[in-house]
Amino acid sequence: MKAVGVVVEYNPFHNGHLYHLQQAKEQTGADISIAAMSGNFLQRGEPALVSKWARTKMALEAGVDIVFELPYRFATQHAETFAEGAVSILSAAGCDTLCFGSESGELEAFNKTIAFLEDNNEVFQEKIKSYTGEGYSYPKSIALSFHSLAPSESFIDISRPNNILGLHYIQAIIRQKSSMKAETITRKNAGYHDEHFASATIASATSIRKALFGAAGEIESIKQYVPETTYTQLINYRDQYGGFHSWEDYWPLLKYKLLQSTPSEIKEFYEVEEGLENRLLAAAGSSGSFQQFMESIKTKRYTWTRLQRVCLHILTNTSKDTMKKSQKTVNYLKLLGATEKGRSYLNYKKKDFNLPLVSKLSAFSDPDIDLDIKASRIYALGQTAKGQEQLLAEEFARPPIMLNS
């Protein structure tokens, strides 16, 4: 059976994701699709709209055959580490191809860009250091450095978020000496960060979440942008757990954590650098909401995403030591769900996997699983009392979702 791998967050699963999934299968001729999906907290340092279990069900109902969890240690990191974790999962699961969406849509442009960066790495790193020294954020410094060196227009635009991820996926495949091939599909209509609906059927996850958290909060407004199964899952989740998750739900917890800590204690949390602890502590006492807090600490040097990840690591009590002691690739395959076809693949291929397949937490021990458990407990605190109880129980008691035809 030929398998195509995708790296996803599905926050939530929408029509653009469906298009990518269908094109990935068609373009690669795959029999099944395997997703490496972030858990309850995401790469941009924010809580997922709904839990990993709800998003797994959305994925399976839309055509994904197997969903593995990308651990917190990788899912909440910058693009390079995020890609290393995802590639190690899909490679270990026997995927023939990793198919990613990009603004470029041209694989050859990615290959040319990678070759150029390898040939000019020393001067490239010096330019990055120079731009960051001028106060630019690291992602902005990378883009400026590349554009100052690139001699032609045949390269990808590495200021675009999906191009950057795609670049790191291919580099991770090369570093890990994986037998997987890479393929890319042009993103359709909506941009990654678009906040408004600009098409009749395709919208970014950002614009969908904005509509759900808007003043009206009407879930009906997103119906045309998501599959019917996603729409149903969102309604069910809201009714069962008490609502959707956003940073504002966790702001009182973050504020408490900051205000009861000293600057030296805050400095020990992962990604807190260069005196940022003092800025965080000063803003916490004068901010009445997470939005206000973020606007207070935002600077030219620190992107909104970087600061959200800092806040997330403080919220989950994740230290520098915890993250630095870990390996560079995933140590296991945590199964979240599978279709009948996916189960057939697992039964046939799992003996060839070079990582252990985990479907029950009590049967396997690993520091990354401990970190995921802690993160899931914190994630549950963003809900009502009833929702908290259910989410806390699910992390241990819920088996992988097995979807029947």
Query: What tens digit of pLDDT does each residue of 271-304 get?
Result: 998 889 999 999 999 999 999 999 999 988 888 9
Residue 221 lies in a domain: no
**In a shared domain, residues 263 and 302:** yes
**In a shared domain, residues 82 and 185:** yes
In this structure, the strands spanning 333-339 and 66-70 are antiparallel
Range(s) of the domain holding residue 175: 3-103+166-191+330-403
Residue 225 lies in a domain: no
Q: What is the CATH number of the domain that holds 92?
A: 3.40.50.620
What is the pLDDT at residue 197?
53
Residue 287: phi and psi, rounded to 5, are: -110, 135
Taking a C-beta distance cutoff of 8 angstroms, is the pair 199, 190 a contact? Answer: yes
**Closest alpha carbon to 32 in 67, 69, 64:** 64
Question: CA–CA distance from 46 to each of 150, 158, 248, 339, 346 (Å)?
Answer: 34, 23, 10, 28, 31
347-390 pLDDT tens trace? 999 999 999 999 988 888 899 999 999 999 999 999 988 889 99
Residue 23 lies in a domain: yes
**What is the total count of domains within the chain?**
3
**In a shared domain, residues 7 and 112:** no
Q: Residue 170 and residue 100: Cα distance in Å, rounded?
A: 10
**In a shared domain, residues 38 and 74:** yes
The domain boundary residue, chosen from 135, 159, 183 = 159
Residue 131 lies in a domain: yes
Residue 231 lies in a domain: no
**In a shared domain, residues 33 and 152:** no
**In a shared domain, residues 303 and 171:** no
Residue 187 lies in a domain: yes
Q: Residue 19 and residue 123: Cα distance in Å, rounded?
A: 39
Report residue 44 as tokens: 């941009």
Report residue 29 as tokens: 């001729």
**In a shared domain, residues 151 and 68:** no
**In a shared domain, residues 345 and 316:** no
The domain boundary residue, chosen from 284, 300, 320 = 320
**Closest alpha carbon to 276 in 291, 257, 256, 298:** 298
pTM of the model: 0.93
**In a shared domain, residues 154 and 296:** no
Report residue 387 as tokens: 């929702």
Annotated binding site for ATP: 7-20, 101, 162, 187
Write the DSSP symbol of residue 176: T
Annotated binding site: 7-20, 101, 162, 187
**In a shared domain, residues 53 and 137:** no
**In a shared domain, residues 141 and 287:** no
Burial class (CB in 10 A: 0-12, 13-18, 19+), 308: buried
The domain boundary residue, chosen from 280, 301, 320 = 320
Residue 198 binned pLDDT confidence (cut-offs 50, 70, 90): low
**In a shared domain, residues 186 and 38:** yes
Q: Residue 247 and residue 290: Cα distance in Å, rounded?
A: 7
Cβ neighbors of 347 (< 8 A, separation 6 or more) are: none
Q: Residue 359 and residue 361: Cα distance in Å, rounded?
A: 7
Residue 190 binned pLDDT confidence (cut-offs 50, 70, 90): very low
